[in-house]
Structure 1
Amino acid sequence: MTEPLLIERSEGVLTLVLNRPESMNSLDVALKEALRDTLTEIEADRSVRAVVLTGAGRAFCVGQDLREHVAVLEARTVDPLSTVLAHYNPIAQRLANLPKPVIAAVRGTAAGAGASLAMLADFRIGGPGTSFLMAFANVGLAGDTGISWSLPRIVGHAKAVELLMLAEPVAAPEAHALGLLTRLTGSDDEVLPTAQELAARLAAGPTVAYGAIKRELSVGTAGTLSDALAAEAQAQAITGATTDHRNATTSFVNKEKPAFQGR
């Protein structure tokens, strides 16, 4: 049986590959559970200092496996939307709160919950063939997997309303202009190498500081100035006590390039 989620490691970078290419990496229960549980393990694994999320084949991820969803609807033995609490919410929480950088390598289509997963990454790399589709309304559903939280932070409230309600595809050039893509490569073949190159750079950086930056931005985006200042004070207390800070400060004084250890 083919593993629904492939895991590749290279010098502090862990690449997660959604591995259902025959269905454009649609999310069935097996894949959702594998992703949820693997993200939990990554959080506590200090050897992982950056994460790349990508899809096998011609698509990043087209969201919920609708064939499986229809089968559950017709069986009427389980609430088909119980997957939101069991899978999508925990995945979103763990992906957004991962205390290390996350890069989405988005080749091809990212639709529905697949687009939501990409929006939760810190960086999104795409190519000419990349497109996003906030497809939820097309099947009579509201958004999930954190899209109501992440999308307005990237494109603003008004554009998020448009993208979610009209549910029209967003091609790569517009996605880049809107900030849905952090970087747009010249070819689709460059997407994953570019993402892994960025991940390697980040994996060699101050991992604890990156995690603290993510936490304080989460507070600062929605909170008051007082909330932001409190979060910054806490973050500085944590990062100021790290070996990386002490060594980098010494290196700066000595006009040397710092070597970060991620602790």
Structure 2
Amino acid sequence: MRYLPGEPHQLPRGRNSLGNYQPEHFLFTVEQGVATLTLNRPERKNPLTFDSYAELRDLFRALAYADDVKTLVITGAGENFCSGGDVHDIIGPLTKLDMPGLLAFTRMTGDLVKSMRACPQPIVSAIDGICAGAGAIVAMASDIRYGTARSKTAFLFTRVGLAGCDMGACALLPRLIGQGRASELLFSGRSLGGEEAERWGFLNRLCAPEAVLADAQAFALQLAQGPTFAHGITKKMLQQEWNMGVDEAIEAEAQAQAICMATNDFHRAYNAFVAKEKPAFEGN
């Protein structure tokens, strides 16, 4: 169907709703376009298991087709974000796997990060307490990070005899905090306190522990009420332009912005400006 100026066009059929999704290994709710994903094993500081890794990966893949989720907040139950891979449910069994099994696991965990970066929704992590190992990776792979002064982020892989190059850490972390600082954290495995994490640029904002989730959700709601199709384009370009030269990036942005200029939201914004009103974006 050809788009005509002044005639709202529609998204193609076949998209999904995740509002009623009932996960097995974490909590998930959707309200006003904002999904909140809660890692929910507070008695163990919310570690991940083989099954929760896989379910998280599949959920983020499904988000690419979810028309009722505009933004997503990740948090942890209790007073911690995520302690990483469960020592008993993951670390122990890994010592008994052969190389094909180990590679299948590391590829699966990497696929979680790929799916987080590929989904069009902005992801905001609300980080309190322990944020370690795979938990630090999930925070790193998010688009925005709200934290607390008492949060402790650590890329612990070297502490268990592994390399720091896990789940994209050597590619993503230097882009957030710089090569030298990323090298220090990935070699040492030391904890990064909340105030230091904000100074280094890992955390976007420090919040009070009792307010960090609400603050993250409020920011996510603000994004959800904006031009969400355009937000998805912004996220895609932030990802893709890492591997582009400047001239190539400028051309890619020209094409991306031209696409956004053909959306209903662009016309809504113009009409609202003329009428001296606030635009009501609908994400198409």
Name the TM-score, length of structure 2 as normaliser: 0.87
Which stretch shows the higher mean deviation, 233-242 or 118-127? 233-242
- 1:232 and 2:253 equivalent? yes
- 1:117 and 2:138 equivalent? yes
For 2:225, the equivalent position in structure 1 comes to 204
Instruction: Report the Cα distance in structure 2 between the residues aligned to 1:90 and 1:255, rounded to whole angstroms.
Output: 45
The AA in structure 1 aligned to 2:46 is N
For 1:126, the equivalent position in structure 2 comes to 147
Map residues 165-204 of structure 1 onto 2, 5 A cutoff.
165-185=187-207, 187-204=208-225
Gapped regions of structure 1 (runs ≥ 5): none
For 1:164, the equivalent position in structure 2 comes to 186
For 2:12, the equivalent position in structure 1 comes to none
**1:38: Cα distance to partner?**
1.2
For 1:22, the equivalent position in structure 2 comes to 43
Instruction: Report the Cα distance in structure 2 between the residues aligned to 1:181 and 1:35, rounded to whole angstroms.
Output: 22
Instruction: Report the Cα distance in structure 1 between the residues aligned to 2:52 and 2:204, rounded to whole angstroms.
Output: 26
Instruction: Report the Cα distance in structure 1 between the residues aligned to 2:41 and 2:223, rounded to whole angstroms.
Output: 28
Deviations 1:44-96 (A, max 9, x none): 001110000111122111111121234324544673452111x2111101111
Instruction: Report the Cα distance in structure 2 between the residues aligned to 1:146 and 1:75, rounded to whole angstroms.
Output: 24
Which stretch shows the higher mean deviation, 35-44 or 198-207? 35-44
Deviations 1:210-263 (A, max 9, x none): 111112222334421122112202211221111111111121222221111011
For 1:148, the equivalent position in structure 2 comes to 170
Q: Do the aligned partners of residues 233 and 175 (structure 1) sit closer, same or farther apart at CA in structure 2, a change above 3 Å counting?
A: same
CA contact (8 A) 2:85 2:91 kept: no
The AA in structure 1 aligned to 2:240 is V
Which stretch shows the higher mean deviation, 76-85 or 230-239? 76-85
Alignment root-mean-square deviation, CA: 1.7
SS in 2 for 1:189: coil
SS in 2 for 1:188: coil
Map residues 235-250 of structure 1 onto 2, 5 A cutoff.
235-250=256-271
Gapped regions of structure 2 (runs ≥ 5): 1-22
Q: Which has the larger radius of gyration?
A: 2
CA contact (8 A) 2:28 2:35 kept: yes
**1:32: Cα distance to partner?**
0.8
Name the TM-score, length of structure 1 as normaliser: 0.93
CA contact (8 A) 1:96 1:120 kept: yes
SS in 1 for 2:149: coil
The AA in structure 1 aligned to 2:92 is A
Instruction: Report the Cα distance in structure 1 between the residues aligned to 2:50 and 2:97, rounded to whole angstroms.
Output: 17
SS in 2 for 1:117: helix
Instruction: Report the Cα distance in structure 2 between the residues aligned to 1:56 and 1:109, rounded to whole angstroms.
Output: 11
Q: Once the two structures are aligned, what percentage of the paired residues are identical?
A: 38
**1:109: Cα distance to partner?**
1.1
Q: Do the aligned partners of residues 81 and 57 (structure 1) sit closer, same or farther apart at CA in structure 2, a change above 3 Å counting?
A: farther
Which stretch shows the higher mean deviation, 161-170 or 222-231? 222-231
The AA in structure 2 aligned to 1:152 is P
Instruction: Report the Cα distance in structure 2 between the residues aligned to 1:45 and 1:18, rounded to whole angstroms.
Output: 21
Map residues 27-176 of structure 1 onto 2, 5 A cutoff.
27-76=48-97, 79-85=101-107, 87-142=108-163, 143-176=165-198
Task: Select the structure that is richer in helix.
Answer: 1
The AA in structure 2 aligned to 1:166 is S
Instruction: Report the Cα distance in structure 2 between the residues aligned to 1:110 and 1:231, rounded to whole angstroms.
Output: 35
CA contact (8 A) 2:63 2:121 kept: no
Q: Do the aligned partners of residues 181 and 70 (structure 1) sit closer, same or farther apart at CA in structure 2, a change above 3 Å counting?
A: closer
